[in-house]
């Protein structure tokens, strides 16, 4: 079956910062697609001159988006294969469930960082090509942040349960009935995250609802909060998810 790009033409044809730069990075994309045995996608992109010119312009302007593609070309292929909204909805669902079967902090950290790279690339392309307007972009970035944060919280609660520190009411939905409240503030709470936004949080816990198996739940809660920040913002070889701040309020 022939590989086809599922996107409509961009609403705005972005001009490259330099035609030479655009050609150089498109040649690099061709090479990376062949290296990853994705030559059919190279042919599909060549067949859509509007998409190819758009990608060349994006690569000439944004080293971050360019690196997202060249490091992992399959991300671009996935994004081109379906309409943006359909792709994004699946990404959010996968991200929200990233805690399942994650044996360690490092495993969920890697999953969330790969997902963030795809979310940033998807939203960036949709924004620059005007497939989405500014309100849609900020809303979707916020939606992704919520899914990533929920996955990190569920992972940590499940760890406490398996460590004998906390008894969860629902192993399939660790946050439900846990007594832990994570409140989004600022741009996150307003649904207006942009590409460089931190996420500002307030954490509460209701001891009467939490079935602690420890004499010092406050210390345990504090360690959970620190672990949450580490999962979200520590920079690894895969980058970071979101810079996270609990200190503003």
Q: What is the pLDDT of residues 138-179, one digit of tens each?
A: 999 999 999 999 999 999 999 998 888 888 888 899 998 888
Q: Is pLDDT at 87 greater than 70 in this prediction?
A: yes
| C-alpha distances in Å from residue 85, one per residue of 132, 162, 166 | 9, 37, 38
First to last CA, the chain: 55
| pLDDT classification of 246: cutoffs 50, 70, 90 | confident
Q: What is the mean pLDDT of residues 54-83?
A: 95
Q: Is pLDDT at 213 greater than 70 in this prediction?
A: no
- The three-state secondary structure class of 208 is coil
- Give the pLDDT of residue 123: 97
| pLDDT classification of 243: cutoffs 50, 70, 90 | very high
For residue 56, with 0-12 CB atoms within 10 Å meaning exposed, 13-18 middle and 19 or more buried, which class applies?
buried
Of residues 124, 160, 164, the one with CA closest to residue 141: 124
- Ordered by where they begin, the domains of the chain are 8-81 (no CATH), 89-245 (3.30.460.10)
| C-alpha distances in Å from residue 247, one per residue of 84, 225, 226 | 35, 11, 12
Q: Is pLDDT at 215 greater than 90 in this prediction?
A: no
Q: What is the mean pLDDT of residues 99-108?
A: 93
Per the document, the length of the chain is 249
Least confident of 81-90, 126-135, 240-249: 240-249
| Pairwise pLDDT comparison (247 vs 149), residue with the higher score | 149
- Give the pLDDT of residue 1: 47
**Contact, 117 vs 68, CB < 8 A?**
yes
Q: What is the mean pLDDT of residues 35-52?
A: 94
C-alpha dihedral sign at 65, 70, 76, 78: negative
| pLDDT classification of 2: cutoffs 50, 70, 90 | low
| pLDDT classification of 103: cutoffs 50, 70, 90 | confident
pLDDT over 70 for what percent of the chain? 95
Q: Is pLDDT at 249 greater than 70 in this prediction?
A: no
Residue 180, φ and ψ in degrees, nearest 5: -90, 130
- Give the pLDDT of residue 6: 86
Distance CA 78, CA 75 (A): 5
Q: What is the mean pLDDT of residues 187-204?
A: 93
To the nearest whole number, what is the mean pLDDT of the chain? 92
Query: Tokens 């309020």 sit at which residue?
Result: 249
- Give the pLDDT of residue 165: 84
According to DSSP, residue 99 is labeled T
């Amino acid at each position: 079956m022939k590989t086809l790009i599922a996107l409509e033409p961009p609403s705005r044809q972005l001009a490259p910062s330099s035609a030479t730069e655009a050609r150089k990075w498109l040649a690099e994309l061709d090479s990376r697609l062949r290296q990853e045995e994705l030559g059919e996608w190279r042919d599909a992109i060549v067949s859509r001159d509007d998409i190819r010119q758009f990608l060349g312009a994006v690569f000439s302007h944004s080293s971050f988006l360019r690196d997202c593609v060249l490091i992992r070309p399959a991300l671009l292929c996935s994004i081109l294969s379906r309409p943006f909204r359909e792709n994004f909805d699946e990404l959010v669902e996968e991200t929200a469930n990233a805690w399942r079967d994650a044996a360690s902090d490092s495993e969920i950290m890697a999953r969330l960082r790969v997902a963030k790279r795809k979310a940033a690339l998807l939203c960036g392309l949709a924004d620059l090509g005007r497939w989405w307007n500014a309100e849609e972009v900020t809303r979707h970035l916020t939606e992704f942040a919520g899914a990533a944060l929920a996955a990190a919280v569920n992972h940590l609660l499940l760890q406490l349960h398996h460590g004998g520190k906390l008894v969860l009411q629902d192993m399939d939905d660790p946050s439900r009935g846990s007594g832990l409240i994570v409140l989004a503030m600022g741009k996150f709470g307003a649904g207006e995250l942009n590409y460089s936004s931190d996420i500002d949080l307030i954490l509460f816990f209701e001891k009467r609802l939490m079935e602690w198996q420890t004499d010092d739940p406050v210390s345990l809660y504090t360690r959970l909060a620190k672990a949450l920040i580490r999962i979200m913002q520590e920079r690894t070889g895969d980058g970071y998810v979101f810079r996270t701040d609990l200190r503003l309020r």
